[in-house]
């Protein structure tokens, strides 16, 4: 009887394999969506949903997005209207973005709609490393502007970022 209990316990505990983080490599400086390249918008969606999106591989648990070295990713349209207008999909998972001296910005052209760059939803956890975020618009809910670059109701860590 002792051996049987030990075996059941081992099968139960030994079969637990925690989700491993995926690294999603952005291969385009496009601010849009769709393949064959992996864009930042698609990479965030892939990380949030753990599903391959556009030209990006699927996320898996807490994910890392690697941006190309030193490029500028220009956003020309809003992605969603969660807590105001946002240029990128709301971060709803645990996500680290390694910027590698990249800039993510709202297009400065006059015709570009107003939106902030990043939104971290409740339960989301975003870490930005070595990234510049610029030209976002502090969109409004009620009478107060909320985050031109980033608005977070989740967790946010900035390291060597502007």
Cis amide prior to 82 (ω within 30 degrees) = no
Average confidence score pLDDT of the chain = 88
- Which among 66, 129, 118, 59 is positioned nearest to 94, based on CA atoms? 59
pLDDT given at position 21: 82
> What's the CA gap between 27 and 105, in Å, rounded?
17
pLDDT in tens, 104-113: 999 999 999 9
pLDDT given at position 119: 96
Q: Is 10 helix (H, G, I), strand (E, B) or coil?
A: helix
Length of the chain: 162
Across the range 155-162, mean pLDDT stands at 98
Residues in contact with 140: Cβ distance below 8 Å, sequence separation at least 6, in sequence order: 84, 146
pLDDT given at position 146: 75
pLDDT in tens, 80-127: 999 889 999 999 999 999 999 999 999 999 999 999 999 999 999 999
Query: From its phi and psi, is residue 84 left (phi > 0), alpha (psi between -120 and 50) or beta?
Result: left
With contact defined as beta carbons under 8 Å apart, do 135 and 72 qualify? no
Chain centroid to Cα 5, Å, comes to 44
């Amino acid at each position: 009887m002792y051996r049987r209990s030990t075996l059941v316990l081992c099968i139960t505990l030994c079969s637990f394999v925690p989700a491993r983080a995926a690294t999603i490599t952005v291969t385009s400086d496009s601010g849009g969506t769709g393949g064959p390249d992996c864009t930042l918008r698609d990479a965030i969606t892939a990380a949030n949903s753990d599903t391959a999106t556009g030209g990006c591989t699927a996320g898996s648990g807490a994910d890392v997005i690697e941006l190309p070295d030193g490029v500028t990713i220009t956003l020309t349209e809003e992605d969603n209207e969660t807590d105001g207008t946002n240029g990128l999909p709301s971060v709803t998972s645990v996500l680290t973005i390694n910027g590698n001296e990249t800039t993510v910005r709202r297009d400065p052209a006059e015709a570009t709609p107003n939106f902030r760059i990043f939104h971290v939803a409740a339960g989301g956890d975003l870490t930005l490393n070595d990234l510049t975020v610029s030209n976002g618009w502090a969109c409004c809910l009620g009478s107060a502007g909320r985050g031109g670059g980033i608005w977070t109701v989740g967790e946010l860590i900035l390291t060597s970022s502007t």
